[in-house]
Amino acid sequence: MLWSLLPYLPLGLLAGLLSGLLGIGGGLVFAPLLLLAGLDPHQALATSTLAIVPTTLGGTWTHLRSRTLPGWGCLAIGLGAGLGAGLFSQLGFGLQGWHLLALQALMYGVLAFTIRPQSSLAVVATPTLNLPGLASVGWVAGLATGLLGLGGGLVMVPLMVQVLRVPIHLAIRFSTLAVLVSAAVASSTFLLDGRGVLPVGLALGATAAIAARWSASRLDRVSDVQLVWMLRALTLLLAADSGRRALLLLVGSSS
């Protein structure tokens, strides 16, 4: 399996670039790739979570070294993400593969129509951090990681920007940290119950980590409007892909 994935490793670089730039974990690239490689949905989503850990570690390390992450905010969102991942990583076995993919499609579709450019929001330059709000957002990330094998960045960033009024660049940095915590917690569960394929996850994640460090260090060079439109384009693309895969599985299981 590992050698068969080597031709796909350039997509690991793509996942890393998106992770560092948009605060996502890379699961949106990893999960379809692993399904294409022949893993079933439960294995693919669990292995995607394993790959997210080294991917987001690269970006988080860059942000911590640059001292652009407030300590109390990190603690709040990290705690919420860890608790959410620990809870929801136990629930995936109760759902069929098409259920998981349909939930992905629904989540992406809602986000695509709710993300708005930063210029249309009243965001202060130096906000007072809402620590309970950040913990709640982290908990949502834990749900996305533990149940769907996604880092949750595409959920967290819009929530922080639109609900908590966090500037988008800071929201992306918080998101990267929260994804790292939730993926690390969920991965331990997936490894213990045998859903994740560790060598494959590490191979993809190590490749992505290199690109994530590079793109995270250049985050401030991208404008708010460009970041929001990239997030919107990704969610539309992924909603269509997840919906298509869910429909194929549903039709196949009923025939």
DSSP H/E element including 125? none
Q: What is the helix (H) or strand (E) element at residue 127, kind and residue range?
A: none
Q: Which residue has the higher pLDDT, 247 or 101?
A: 247
pLDDT at 150 over 80: no
Q: What is the pLDDT of residue 233?
A: 83
Residues 131-135 have a mean pLDDT of 93
Q: Which residue has the higher pLDDT, 55 or 148?
A: 55
When pLDDT is averaged across residues 19-32 and rounded to a whole number, the result is 76
Assign 26 to helix, strand or coil. Answer: coil
pLDDT at 131: 92
206-234: pLDDT as tens digits = 888 888 888 888 888 888 778 878 877 87
Residue by residue, DSSP assigns 189-200 as HHHHHT-S-HHH
CA distance 46 to 154: 18
The CA–CA distances, whole Å, from 22 to 2, 19, 89, 186, 247 equal 28, 6, 24, 21, 28
Spatial separation of the C-alpha atoms in residues 144 and 219, rounded to whole Å: 24
| pLDDT given at position 120 | 47
With bands split at pLDDT 50, 70 and 90, how would you rate the model's confidence at 107? confident
Q: What is the mean pLDDT of the chain?
A: 79
pTM: 0.74
pLDDT value of residue 86:
80
Give which of 176, 142, 132, 143 is closest to 157, Cα–Cα. Answer: 176
